[in-house]
Structures are given as structure tokens and as C-alpha cells.
Structure 1
């Protein structure tokens, strides 16, 4: 991912949050088995699929910024200015990311189905297919 302009930290955060599916492929060809990884390309702002011309670096700042790398980099910069090095640069940002994940989890758990009184009534359309009935409210 560093080939595409991501820092190692950004790649780590992105791949840590992406729905990645890993598989052992070609096991019947032992000792020449191979591991494959499914990475959804829709999570990227640009095309990361292999091409005949090879990978193309995307200039920084041309895509929409994402909060996670901005938070991590800002905190790492402040930790570096405070004299910390190595893994200590990312300890605070790790705790912040954990807190944000917990908040997201709780928000997801608090979502409830819409009350039935707010549902649109179903009407039978042409050919017996169900369609949503449209009603005109007050004029």
C-alpha cells in the first residue's frame, strides 16, 4: 500500500478496519500452496487493481481525507515533539481509536427498527406486484 502513497501507519489502520478475507488457496499443490487475500476495492478513493502499467502513485491531497489517519498522524506528531519515539508515538492514538470503535459499536447497538406506524402502506400494482402506495398529503 505504500506503493500507492499510504504511509505504513495508514496502511496498517486501513487494513485493520477493512473487511479482509484470507484463504489458503491451492492446497492440493503442496508444497506450492498459496495464500490469497480478498480486499474490497470499493474502500479506496482510486483504482488499486493491478494493470499492465503497474501501480500508479496517487498524489497526497487529491482524495477525500479520512479521519483516522489524520487523528493518528496529528497525535504521533505531537508525541514526537514531546520527545517520544517508536511505539510510544502511537499509544495515545490507539486508545483514541479504541474509544471511537466503542462509540461506533454502541451507536450501532442503539439503532432500532422504525415503528410500524411510520411505514408506508403496501398496495398491489400492475400484474399483482407489490408497490409502495403514494398518498398526497394536505394541499
Structure 2
């Protein structure tokens, strides 16, 4: 099952959150209080462009949250594979000596490998992907 993401869908997901919605989204994240504080500080970052004050941090977080929503909606197995690969790499890296030596190399390989397996599941299998690429 393959899905094509159109620009209209991305624009539909890229609606600007209100401050209270953004704060609630940050509070709901399963991260440390210190990291939540950093995200709140990033949300408050502003810059002046052409004489107009722009809340660049809020826009950046809004784009990131929208991108995650789109990816989770259209490619759930890929996102699960990337997360599982990262967790496996982290677990392997925590093994004394062997993990310290091979962890930095094996971690990215696991993320790429398991994420690719999820992508193939999302796209409907390798044969279907080859058929679409080659258009045989």
C-alpha cells in the first residue's frame, strides 16, 4: 500500500498552532523537564526580518510537529522501524567493551536497516518498489 503525499496535504497539516496548543503539545512529550524547558525557550525565540518581528522558534517547532504528524500518518511502519533501530543501537552500545567499540558503527546501520524494512512494508514490498521504479 503506497501513498503519495501532495503539497496540498502538507499545507493542510502545516496549520499554525496557537501558543496554548504548542505548550500543551510540549507538555505531553515523554521527555525530561529540562528538555521541555529548552523547547519552551526555543518556542519563544524571535528575530527581526525586514522590520517585522518573526517568532522563528515557534514556526520551527510547528514545522517539526507537522512533519512528524505527516510521517506517522503516511509511513507508520517506517517510523516504528526507525525508532526500533535506534533503540536496538542504544541497547547494543551499552554492552561493555564490545558495544563501546562497535556501537558507533552498528547503531546507524541498525537504524538504516530496520527503518528500510519498515519502509518496504509501507510501500508494499520490494517487488512492488522495483516495479514502480523501473516501470516494467
Indicate whether the TM-score tops 0.5. Answer: no
Between Structure 1 and Structure 2, which shows a larger proportion of strand residues? 1
Tell me which interval the TM-score lies in, with the shorter structure as reference length.
0.3 to 0.5
Between Structure 1 and Structure 2, which shows a larger proportion of helix residues? 2
